[in-house]
Amino acid sequence: MNEQGSMYFEIRGGKKLSGSIDVDTSKNGAMALFAGALLNKAPTTLRRVPRIEEVFRLIEVLESIGVRVVWKKNDITIVPPETYDLAALNVESARKTRSIILFIGPLLHHVAKFSLPHSGGCRLGSRTVRPHFYALERFGVHITTQDDAWRVSREKLKPAEVIMYESSDTATESALMAAACIPGTTTIKYASANYQVQELCFFLEHCGVRIEGIGTTTLTVHGVRSINTPVVYELAEDPIIAMFYVAAAAVTRSSITIRRAPIDFLEQELLVLEKMGFRYDIVRQYKARNKRTRLVDIKTHPSVLVAPADKIHARPYPGLNMDNLPFFAVIATQAKGTTLIHDWMYEKRAIYFTELDKLGAETMLADPHRIYIEGPAALRPGELMTPPALRPAVVLLVAMLAAPGRSVLRDVYIINRGYEDIAGRLRSIGADITVGHL
């Protein structure tokens, strides 16, 4: 579980990909379920957990406060302590993951007063945590922000009607976990309906919490007094990883089969790509192992791409996913014409897309949120440091797969936060990529 800041990828690009690849389980789903498992006073087993740096950091935090974590291959059993020792919390690990904020909701049910360090993770500009606080205060929670930590205290928790300040995935998850163990009915309005929120809802239902409106923007939670039963739950697949493989196929003009793709969270992306000339077939449909999430196998075909007539921008689910938007930056480099990408949520992320210029792309940054990309560009190899944000980092990796010649992507810890053995998985479909250590 060591950090890998000295690791780099060496890619010999310009090769066609071929064969089949399975989509891994969801990083963001796993983060929510690690927090959700703290609601349970009995052991919780999560199956097919991705072995990624973000998971390792959360395990370090859990173990530091008294939780016993048992790995068995890719299954993790989380055994709660009799008493949580938050004074011993591993601050260094906590500050390396934004997911630490998700611990507030479940810990409220065990500890009346505690502190958590400010979260870290990707550097994408200002990312307000106020939607979490505004939601939790409706239940009787008080949160104050100090220089290095959040101070959390609660009165007697009570069910509530919660109006979400914004349709935030993690803030909705915070409200769900607070409501889950408060007896009575809580209504959460203007909630996120994204894949990780649905995953948490499925898990909570598995724990005995009844939730109405899953997949919509109004959730009705019938809270229970406590959860104290052994639970086994299998994670669903990650639509962002599925989109990574779609993007790799598009820019390398390859025919591959992407298996176990959660189609309900990819339909908008595939529609935009279809209008850009991308060709694919849905060759199989079935349910995930959680028996709730719809999966498909996607067969891609070499395609001649054109720029879309309209700008590409993300929206809350069921719109194009904000984490999938960056992949359109690298796809646009191979599309004839000018593509406008509007990344309205983050102040800095569009700036990172200009790194594609170092690999032969032609971009013009209009402002911190909008970038024009001219295509098709003849991508060329290069040696780059990863930007300090996960999705822009993997966008560079995709571009290097398409650029003929030797490229090096350095300091890939940020990629290992969200992708398990991405080099090995790419090699399985024909990519020439090796891992090195300084």
> CA–CA separation, 58 vs 64, rounded Å?
10
Collapse the DSSP code of 338 into the 3-class scheme (helix H, G, I; strand E, B; otherwise coil) and give the result.
strand
Residue type, 372: Y
Q: Any alpha helices (H) in 216-359, and if so which ranges?
A: 239-252, 267-275, 325-332, 349-353
Instruction: Of 236, 231, 199, give the one whose Cα is nearest residue 50.
Output: 236
Burial of 91 (0-12, 13-18, 19+ CB in 10 A): middle
CATH of 27-234, picked from 3.40.50.450, 3.65.10.10, 1.10.10.10, 3.30.2130.10, is: 3.65.10.10
Instruction: Give which of 48, 333, 381, 1 is closest to 199, Cα–Cα.
Output: 48
318: cis peptide before it, omega within 30°? Answer: yes
Going 166 to 171 to 177 to 183, the CA torsion angle's sign is negative
Evaluate whether 26 touches 197 at the Cβ level (below 8 Å).
no
The Cα 133–Cα 223 span in angstroms is 20
Q: Which two tokens stand for residue 374?
A: 């001219």
**Cβ–Cβ under 8 Å, residues 201 and 176:** yes
CB atoms within 10 A of CB 51: 15
The rounded distance, in Å, linking the Cα atoms of 247 and 321 is 14
Look at residue 30 in the predicted model and tell me its pLDDT: 96
Fold of 7-24+237-437: UDP-n-acetylglucosamine1-carboxyvinyl-transferase; Chain (3.65.10)
Strand order in the sheet with 432-437: 383-385, 405-410, 7-13, 432-437
Q: Which residues pair with 213 in a beta bridge?
A: none
Strand 44-47's sheet: what is its strand order? Answer: 68-72, 75-79, 44-47, 231-234
pTM confidence score? 0.95
What is the model's pLDDT at position 97? Answer: 87
How many other CB atoms are there within 10 angstroms of residue 257's CB atom? 21
| Per-domain boundaries in the chain | 7-24+237-437, 27-234
Helix (H) or strand (E) holding 287: strand 279-287
How far apart CA 306 and CA 164 sit, in angstroms, is 38
- Considering just the CA atoms, what is the radius of gyration of the chain in Å? 21
Positions in the chain short of pLDDT 50? 1-4, 121-126
Check for a shared fold between 7-24+237-437 and 27-234: yes
Write the DSSP assignment of 141-175 as a string of letters. EEEEE-SSEEEEEESS----EEE-SS--HHHHHHH
Q: List Cβ neighbours of 73 (8 Å cut-off, separation of 6 or more).
A: none
Q: Which residues contact 305 (CB under 8 A, 6 or more apart)?
A: 250, 276, 277, 278, 331, 334, 335, 336, 375, 376
What amino acid occupies position 349? R
Under DSSP, is residue 324 helix (H, G, I), strand (E, B) or coil? Answer: coil
Q: What is the pLDDT of residue 98?
A: 81
